[in-house]
Structure formats: structure tokens, C-alpha cells
Amino acid sequence: MSDLARDWLEWVAVYNDGSILRQFNDDGTENRYGDIDRKRLSEFHLVARDEDRIVLAYALEPGQRLIYRKRYSMSGITGEKNWVIYIVGWQQTINGKNIQNVSFIFPDGSIINLPRFRENHPLFYSIQFIDGEEVEVEEAELNDLQT
């Protein structure tokens, strides 16, 4: 695995009562992304693991849904990870309109912020929902996110 593909960030979920859930516990065990209580989530941070500094933070307003993924480029020959891009943001439906804000964090630490996913783009295309997320989004919103 190249250095560009290592998981150099970890997520930290901050709840509306001030408590937190870190991706990695002090004992080295890992909490799953699905363990985040989205009903209580008020902030979501990506923290540099080596330095324990916040690289990007989103404060979520009521009605905003968290978006988070890691997108890997992999060698078609060896299957080895070449690099990782972190994707974090939010989605909200306001007056029937799909509103998004999405940031892409690259291996060099640079960040590109977009007002929405860009279909037919090699990096900025939309995500697929995973277990637990589809429950939060109405079917109409699912269709809207894909366009």
C-alpha cells in the first residue's frame, strides 16, 4: 500500500449533549461508522491521527444528514490501494429541493468543497447509501441524490 492510501484521518462524532464517539478508542478497538447515533449528532470532525488535529469539521443543523465515505483508487493489476480520498458533508431536503454540501479531502491534505456531487465526473460522483442510511432518507430524496 502506498503512503497516499493509508488511512491518515479518523472521524469523531460530537453529540448534542457534548459527548463524543471516536472512530478509534484508546484501547485500539474501532467503532463502526454505523455506530454513530445520527439523531443526536451535532458535529462531525475528521482528525489527523498522527497529530490529533482537526482537518475538517461540519456543524450539522437540524434536518441535515451526514455524508461520509472513503473513496479508494486501486491498482487493476495488484489490487493494491493507490490513494484514498475522504468525502464528508451533509444533505437536506428543503421545500422539495435536494441541498448538499460536500468536501473531498485528498492525500496531500488539500480540500475541495462542492455544493453538490457531480455526476459523470471521475472523482466527484455521488455515493451509494449503506445499511442504516436509507432509513433516514425518503425514497424521493434517494432519487434526487442520484441526479
> pLDDT by residue for the chain (147 residues), tens digit each?
455 446 789 999 999 999 999 999 999 999 999 999 999 999 999 999 888 899 999 999 999 999 998 888 766 777 777 778 899 999 999 999 999 999 999 988 999 999 888 877 767 767 666 555 544 444 434 444 444
| CA pair distance 75, 77, nearest whole angstrom | 5
Rounded Cα distance between 11 and 116, Å, is 21
Alpha-carbon separation of residue 127 from 17, 18, 21, 66, 87 (angstroms): 29, 29, 23, 12, 9
Q: How many domains does the chain have?
A: 1
pTM: 0.77
pLDDT at 132: 52
Instruction: For residue 145, give every residue at least 6 positions away whose Cβ sits within 8 Å of its Cβ, in sequence order, or none.
Output: 91, 98, 100, 117, 126, 137
First CA to last CA distance, the chain: 34
Q: Which domain holds residue 58?
A: 3-145
